[in-house]
Amino acid sequence: MLRRHWLLGVGFMLCALPACTSGPLGDDAGAGGSGGAGGSTGTGGTAGAGLDDGGQLGLDNRPANPTCVAPATPPPTNAGVATQRAFPRLTFAAPLMLLQPPGEPGRVVVMERAGRIVAFPNDPDAGPSEVTPLLDITTRVNTTGEGGLLGLAFHPQWPARAELYVSYTTANDGGPFRSVISRFRLQGTGPRFEPASEEPLLVLNQPYTNHNGGNLAFGPDGYLYIGFGDGGSSNDPLNAGQRLDTTLGKFLRIDVNVPFNPDRYGIPQDNPFATGTACNRGSADYGTTPSNRRCAEIYAWGLRNPWRWSFDQGTGELWAGDVGQGAWEEVDKITRGGNYGWKVREGAHCFQGACDAGGLIDPVVEYGRTLGVSITGGFVYRGSTIPTLVGKFVYGDYQTGRIWAVGATPQGQPVAELLQDTNQNIGSFGQTLDGEVFVLGFSSGELFKLVPQGSAPPDTFPRTLSATGCFDPTDATRPLPALIPFDLNSPLWSDGATKERFFAIPDGSTITLSSDGDFQLPNGSVTVKTFFVGGRRVETRLFLRHGNGQWAGYSYEWNDAQTDATLLPAQKTKQVGGLSWYFPSRAQCLTCHTPSAGFTLGLELAQLDRELTYPTGRTRPQLATLAGLGFFAGALPTGLPRLVDPLGTMGSLEARARSYLHANCAGCHRSGAGQGPQDFRFSLPLSMTNLCNVAPLNGDLGVSGARLITPGAPSRSLVSLRMQALGAGRMPPLASAVVHSAGVAAVDAWIASLTACP
């Protein structure tokens, strides 16, 4: 992600969501009998305890599993429009752009966030061997927070001018990173652009690692347009959106058709402040102190984070999705000299008090938190396969996976029409030269094409829990024997709810382990978690690995009679026992169930290395039982760390606090997850976590001099403060509205005990 929800303050993302994990216990559950004392590195023991137990296993045998197997994915709901897998033999790593070079309908180009651009034939049967590299700058790209390779454009005179323009973030001494707009020239006949051909045109220091924007495109006037966010944190602390002496929070327009030296780019004469200062030509200043200068590059301003935008192939109009703060997402039609309101307004609404709406341009449409939480702009459809969609701007929501189109009523008023409810994290859209629109699944790496609905396949996905094949069809409260119960050492906070959890894998299959002990479940696997509030079932969540290898989450809401639970099509909030209970959307589950965390989160050696009382009435070590029943593909390793109960008495203060942080944060904040340099994993010594005495990159919640962890001072430690926050800045940022006071106390006691960083 890129955008709002990433790193100790939302995007490429969040601490683990209580609403979408399939592992941890409620705060009333204690660790089993295999915990160990923790040392100064936070180690609570070593995994493998109990494997030499010579007694009976917890279960007598591995039960047969004829029915509790992940079904086919349900077809998405739609309004005459469907998404169809495009290029099904190809999968990409966090794709953020799909386009075609001018005049080349036979070739498709895809840009990956890490810094790779590839091309392949525009053929539905194209395979991996036909993918050819165009440019690889992964060694230059910094993917911290919402960073990465964020924009790509071919020169409009391609191939006469064989030039590629990119936008990316890179490391920056003394700051988070820099945004760079560069040109690469094709050497000879190609086909690959060489990194050595790079010509940096515009450089912008970023004060934080979120709200970077970064998209770019050539307009119908031949000029290059660039969109930048407000620089990050929350509440726009630099007031960048409204200041005209910085290119943060702006749309820029520059002329690249000038000699490269010494000016690098020209300023179009009709830019609003064309006679002002070229603020980023050969420099990287973002203007920390307001000045009287006016940046000549500015085309429009008042943007928070324009995440994905495009020009209409038919009219040339510029459409954008601008990510909101905490209440409103907006679609804007960008015009020269326009002020779109941030941070005076969020959407069409006053932000933090009264505001003067004079001179501010309203969104075309907006939506609130009941529909989504992070807009992804798209394209005006100009294809031929869906006539009813022609001329409408297609956009989506990263978190909920919904797709809309903006059309107009007979009276000319804009109206948003829901096209699809998908289970994709929609990182971007793409458009080919023929006007057809594609959806890019950021987490899945899959490409989809918008197509007419036609005759939709029958939806056979189970509508009730009793129909899943995992529970007694006459009593949905009773799991079938194929579901294996499990429990965890360290709970994930879920606003005080208690949980039951199970997993099932297909007959004849086994579980492999990643290097850090995460379970890798085979295709067809099912994980189940039921939430209880006040002793009553509220929700049962199934997290499934479908036959195609893709993971997806599904929420079932229990009825008042407690006899069955019904599948929910989208997110929902419901008052339950005094709690505002949040049911996540299917796409939101994939926000926290990340590939780097092994998807299932709680299913890992460090969590399951404890005893459990099985349905047989026997209390036995879980790992010994699973190994003895043949669930694992090989022998279990020994010597791995074991988590402890954060609210118990076993282990050191550090072991308990870091067990809590591992369960609640490490799913997203770890190496490879794209959430920045912080790594909350319990297995690392504190010196390698990049937490202690480290300045925050996404705001300080108003606490001057705060650090992520300030030794001896919980009140100046963002790790603690975000656990206590409600609203903006809270961790976890979704699906939790109650502060876990006992968890905060455990973390604070450890921070208070620190005298220095290791």
In this structure, the answer to whether residues 491 and 580 fall within a common structural domain is yes
Give pLDDT, residue 2.
Answer: 37
Q: Whose structure tokens read 């999705």?
A: 321
Q: Are residues 61 and 182 in the same domain?
A: no
Q: Which pLDDT value is given to residue 27? A: 31
Q: What angle do CA 644, 512, 507 make, to 5 degrees?
A: 110
Phi, psi of 209 (to 5 degrees): -105, 20
pLDDT at 44: 53
- Whether residue 673 sits in one domain with residue 556: yes
Q: Which two tokens stand for residue 705?
A: 């001099």
Which stretches in the chain have pLDDT values below 70? 1-55, 76-79, 174, 282-289, 357, 409-411, 455-456, 672-676, 728
Residue 430 lies in a domain: no
Answer yes or no: is 29 within a domain: yes
Which residue, 301, 326, 347, sits at the end of a domain? 301
Is the pTM here over 0.85, yes or no?
no
pLDDT tens digits for 342-393? Answer: 999 999 999 877 777 678 999 999 998 878 889 999 999 999 999 999 999 9
Considering the domain architecture, whether residues 124 and 59 belong to the same structural domain is answered as no
Query: Which of the listed residues 242, 271, 301 is the one where a domain comes to its end?
Result: 301
Does 65 lie in the same domain as 100?
no
As a whole number of angstroms, the distance between CA 533 and CA 540 comes to: 12
Task: Quote the number of domains for the chain.
Answer: 2
Same domain, 60 and 149: no
Q: Are residues 111 and 166 in the same domain?
A: yes
Residue 357 has which token pair?
Answer: 């709406």
pLDDT value at residue 572:
87
Which residues are paired to 566 by β-bridges?
464, 557
Residues 66 and 101 in one domain: no
CATH code for the domain in which residue 213 is found: 2.120.10.30
User: Under 8 Å CB-to-CB from 707, ≥6 apart: which residues?
Assistant: 692, 693, 694, 695, 696, 716, 717, 718
> Is residue 55 domain-shared with residue 194, that is, in the same domain?
no
Same domain? 66 vs 100 = no
- Whether residue 398 is contained in a domain is answered as no
Domain co-membership, 22 together with 157: no
In a domain, 354, yes or no: no
Model pLDDT for residues 279-333, shown as the tens digit of each residue: 988 666 655 567 788 999 999 999 999 999 999 999 999 999 999 988 899 999 9
pLDDT at residue 110, rounded to an integer: 98
Do 141 and 42 reside in the same domain of the chain? no
Nearest by Cα to 463 from 560, 569, 582 = 569
**What is the residue type of 166?**
V
Per-residue pLDDT tens for 667-722?
888 876 666 678 999 999 999 999 999 988 777 888 888 999 999 999 999 999 99
Query: Which residue in 436, 393, 453 sits closest to 124, CA to CA?
Result: 436
The answer to whether residue 86 sits within a structural domain is: no
Name which of 442, 398, 430 is nearest 113 in CA terms: 442
Distances (CA, A) of 126 to 101, 108, 302: 18, 10, 42
DSSP letters of 249-298?
TEEEEEB--S-STTTSSB--TTSTTTTSB-TTBT-----SS--S--BTTE
Last-in-domain residue among 301, 318, 353? 301
Can you read off the two tokens belonging to residue 711?
Answer: 């030794």
* Residue 331 is assigned to a structural domain of this protein: no
Write down the pLDDT at residue 36: 31
- Please name the residue that has the structure tokens 């969109």: 227
With b meaning 16 or more CB within 10 Å and e meaning fewer, what string describes 179-200? bbbbbbebeeeeeebeeeebee
- The answer to the question of residue 75 being in a domain is no
Range of the domain at 279: 96-301
Residue 554 belongs to a domain: yes
Strand, coil or helix: what is 336?
coil
Task: Give the per-residue pLDDT at 496.
Answer: 92
What's the pLDDT score for residue 530?
Answer: 98
